[in-house]
Amino acid sequence: MELPLLGQIYLPISGVEIMGWKLILLGFTVGVIGGFFGIGGAFIVTPALNVFGFPMVYAIGTDMAQMAGKSIIATAKHSKFGNVDMKLGLIMIIGTVIGIELGATVIMCLENVGNADVDVVVRYVYMVLLFSLSGYMLYEYFKLTKEGAVENKTIFDVGKSALALKMQSIKLPPMVNLTVSGFTISIWVILSVATITGFVAGFLGVGGGFLRVPALIYVIGSPTRVAIGTDLFEIMISGAYGAFTYGIKGRVEIIAAVIMLIGASVGTQFGTLATQYPIMLKA
């Protein structure tokens, strides 16, 4: 007897046939990763859907849709733990929406230009971004481990980077007092970071979390837990906007997004809970 949603499914909007269990497993995996790191996980889902046979633009749109739904679950959980700075999140949304619209417009232009292979362009941009980011974070990890060894203690948070301190010292009004994050910063810094990450999000079809969380930590200077929770709040809103934009353009496979969301809803619970254990270990 074939279980519903686990067997072969035909998706008529994109014209793709796929095994349902692949979508559920993919959703579960990004749910765990997303809940723990505070990211949408689209840098995994979009390429994975493309490998499964989705045309790239449909992979982007479908992922935006599932990300919106998954982020609701994760944000609610992080909010209970006091990790969501709504003021910061709402300001970032303004910049992100502008950036996403610009990014989505560029990708649609590329799709309409006969010579441009959108899949190849997006894949190369992904590779450059992911390698650069992972390289920097590895460097940061080894630096902190060394500092911890010298001071003979385990470091639980990166603290404020030199760049973040410089950004917070910019006194361009209006200034915003972020009580949850614990500092005051110029609104223009927040908007600039959000617009740039939003553009990348719209272009690559990602939530931008894998860029925005490091940006919140290293450029704006948020504590790591707050960066995670706040980013998920923002992804919830910007994901919904991205899903709407790609929906209007006819590039969302809703059935696939719902199936992935079922898996993600379970995974998110585990990922989110795991973020709180370092705090309990510290005590």
Partner 1 sequence: MEGINQWLVELNKNSPVWFGVVTVLTMAIVGVLMAAIAEVILKIFGVKGEVVERFLSQPGN
Positions touching partner 1 (CB under 8 A) are: 4, 10-13, 65-66, 68-73, 76-77, 80-82, 240, 243-245, 247-250, 252, 254-255, 257-258, 261-262, 265-266, 268-269, 273, 276-277, 279-280, 283
Helix axes 254-274, 20-37, angle to 10 degrees: 40
Nearer to partner 1, 199 or 246 (CB): 246
Nearer to partner 1, 58 or 218 (CB): 58
Q: How far is the CB of 244 from partner 1 (least distance, A)?
A: 4
Nearer to partner 1, 7 or 135 (CB): 7
- In terms of Cβ atoms closer than 10 Å to its own Cβ (0-12, 13-18, 19+), residue 86 is middle
Nearer to partner 1, 179 or 184 (CB): 179
Q: How far is the CB of 254 from partner 1 (least distance, A)?
A: 6
- Phi/psi class of residue 54: alpha, beta or left (left: φ > 0; alpha: ψ in -120 to 50)? beta
Query: What is the CA 177 to chain-centroid distance, rounded?
Result: 25
Nearer to partner 1, 19 or 240 (CB): 240
Cβ-based neighbour number of residue 283 at 10 Å: 4
Q: How far is the CB of 268 from partner 1 (least distance, A)?
A: 8
Q: How far is the CB of 274 from partner 1 (least distance, A)?
A: 10
Dihedral in degrees, nearest 10, Cα atoms 55, 61, 62, 63: 110
Rounded to a whole number of angstroms, the distance between the first and last alpha carbons of the chain is 51
Q: How far is the CB of 57 from partner 1 (least distance, A)?
A: 14
- Nearest 5°: phi and psi at 180? -70, -40
Rg (C-alpha) for the chain, rounded Å, is: 19
Half-sphere exposure of 12 (CA within 13 A, CB side): 0
Nearer to partner 1, 66 or 96 (CB): 66
- In DSSP terms, 8 is beta-bridged to 19
β-pairing, 183-186 vs 8-11, is unpaired
Q: How far is the CB of 250 from partner 1 (least distance, A)?
A: 5
